[in-house]
Copies of this chain bind each other. A is one copy, B any other.
Amino acid sequence: MPDVQHMKATMRRYADLFNAGDHVAVADLYADDAVIEDPVGKRPVEGRAAIEKFYADSIAAGAKLVAHEVRGSYGNRSAMRFSADLPGLHIDGIEVMTFDDGGKVVRMEAFWGPDDFQAV
């Protein structure tokens, strides 16, 4: 079972690395066969190569993340409220990450829907 402090720190580190523009370091937080569902209900991003491209594209688009409240659990998952700003777009969401025993993220799910973003 991953340590709860590790899980919470990973969520904040995720935002920091993303904002530093380091898509490889962001992808390194994930297990090789990880799955990203962002937003939940849309086609998932699966596996290391696709995940690295997903973050490279997001960073290239000018996206920036803010990690707000981060919450743990007694299991292998943690959650945080986040916001994201892209040129012309603001998104408010909640993210859940699931970890493997080695502390890598095996699944990331971002909850935001049709009325959780707005043109800015």
Give A residues with C-beta under 8 Å from B.
Answer: 4-5, 37, 39-42, 69, 71-81, 92-94, 96, 109, 111-116
Give min CB distance, A7 to chain B, whole Å: 8
26 A–B contact pairs at CB < 8 A?
A5-B115, A39-B74, A40-B73, A40-B74, A40-B75, A40-B77, A41-B77, A42-B74, A69-B92, A71-B93, A71-B94, A71-B111, A71-B113, A71-B116, A72-B111, A72-B113, A72-B114, A72-B115, A72-B116, A74-B113, A78-B111, A79-B79, A79-B111, A80-B94, A94-B96, A96-B96
**Which among A69, A73, A80 has the greatest number of chain B C-beta atoms within 10 A?**
A73
Q: Are A41 and B74 in contact (CB under 8 A)?
A: yes
Name the residue on B nearest A73 (C-beta).
B40
Q: Are A71 and B96 in contact (CB under 8 A)?
A: no
Taken together as a complex, chains A and B put the C-alpha atoms of A109 and B109 apart, in Å, by 14
Taken together as a complex, chains A and B put the C-alpha atoms of A71 and B39 apart, in Å, by 11
Give min CB distance, A116 to chain B, whole Å: 5
Given A5-B115, A73-B112, A96-B111, 14 more pairs with CB closer than 8 A: A4-B113, A37-B75, A39-B74, A41-B74, A41-B76, A69-B81, A69-B92, A71-B93, A71-B94, A71-B111, A71-B116, A72-B111, A72-B114, A78-B113
